[in-house]
């Protein structure tokens, strides 16, 4: 498994997907920093008592766009982990060696997971430092939301790894992005439901979170990085992009089981697949 893990990391670096995503992230952070600087100066001119709450809103917006960047990197790196190698015939050179098929899946999963976790950690840290430097108000660097942010790409990764044992590369990419869109749209519907006190919309949002819990985890992250007053301000200011009701610890447990089940399903599917 460790051999596959090392080869997976080398493959991601060779394909330069990680390099492109890092450059795009730096570009986004630069543009975001310019926006934060000017917006913070204008907003705090008349809202000085709310400076710290405003800073937290900037940080939440950065995490929102960061979630998209991490999700994009996740799908683009792992979308052809197995299917592309089957299509090119590369897998035939790997399987005859004394390597179990389960080791191939787990090695690829943990290889991608390591890179994605490092990228997520660096993005979160850079965003926090950027907002702190530009506003002069330090943001508390809490371990729990950092861990949740690094866990977020593993949700899509587990689904993508399963999909690559089942579908061609292009079909897998489309399916995972559509599934992510369903979860994201459902999360927005749920927040609107809380704003309107509409039980039907809330239940639809919860159902979409069970299908794809990535958005629910994002809501948990932004709920944990803010104080109570800032969370209330976010709900009113950001509307469906904020968080009206914090996901429970049971959703975190479900997310962990969700990842585990898809990885095990990928192992089972690849073991049964005729190459």
| Residue 260 Cα distances to 90, 112, 120, 158, 199, angstroms | 27, 15, 20, 8, 31
**For the chain, what is the domain count?**
1
Phi, psi dihedral angles at 99 (to 5 degrees): -125, 125
pLDDT tens digits in sequence order for the chain, 275 residues long = 777 888 788 888 777 777 888 888 899 899 888 888 887 777 656 555 566 777 777 888 888 888 988 998 899 888 988 888 777 767 666 666 667 888 889 999 999 999 999 999 999 999 999 988 888 777 777 888 899 999 999 999 999 999 999 999 899 999 999 999 998 888 888 888 887 888 888 899 889 989 999 988 988 888 888 755 555 555 555 666 667 777 888 999 999 999 999 999 999 998 887 76
DSSP secondary structure string, 91-110? Answer: HHHHTTSS--HHHHHHHHHH
User: Domain residues for 239?
Assistant: 2-272
For the beta carbon of residue 6, count every other beta carbon within 10 angstroms. 12
Contact present, 245 and 199 (Cβ < 8 Å): no
- pLDDT reported for residue 38: 80
* Rg, C-alpha atoms of the chain: 20
Find all residues with CB under 8 Å of 139, minimum gap 6, and list them.
Answer: 55, 56, 59, 128, 131, 132, 225
Instruction: Supply the pLDDT for residue 154.
Output: 95
């Amino acid at each position: 498994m460790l051999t596959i893990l090392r080869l997976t990391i080398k493959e991601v670096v060779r394909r330069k997907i990680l390099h492109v995503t890092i450059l795009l992230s730096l570009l986004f952070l630069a543009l975001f920093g310019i926006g934060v600087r000017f917006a913070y100066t204008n907003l705090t001119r008349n809202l000085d008592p709310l400076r710290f709450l405003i800073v937290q809103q900037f940080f939440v917006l950065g995490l929102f766009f960061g979630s998209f960047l991490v999700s994009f990197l996740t799908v683009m790196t792992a979308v052809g982990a197995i299917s592309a190698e089957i299509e090119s015939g590369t897998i035939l050179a790997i399987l005859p060696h004394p390597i179990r098929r389960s080791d191939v899946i787990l090695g690829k999963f943990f290889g991608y997971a390591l890179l994605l976790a490092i990228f997520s950690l660096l993005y979160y840290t850079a965003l926090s430092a950027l907002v702190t430097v530009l506003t002069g108000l330090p943001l508390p660097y809490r371990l729990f939301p950092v861990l949740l942010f690094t866990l977020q790409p593993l949700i899509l990764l587990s689904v993508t790894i399963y999909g690559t044992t089942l579908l061609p590369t292009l079909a897998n990419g489309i399916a995972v992005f559509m599934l992510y869109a369903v979860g994201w749209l459902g999360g927005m519907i749920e927040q609107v439901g809380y704003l309107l006190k509409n039980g039907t919309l809330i239940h639809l949002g919860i159902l979409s979170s069970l299908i794809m819990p990535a958005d629910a985890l994002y809501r948990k992250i932004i709920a944990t990085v803010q104080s109570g007053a800032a969370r209330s301000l976010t709900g009113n200011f950001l509307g469906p992009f904020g968080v009206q009701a914090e996901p429970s610890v049971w959703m975190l447990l479900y997310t962990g089981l969700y990842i585990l089940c898809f990885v095990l399903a990928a192992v089972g599917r690849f073991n049964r697949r005729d190459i």
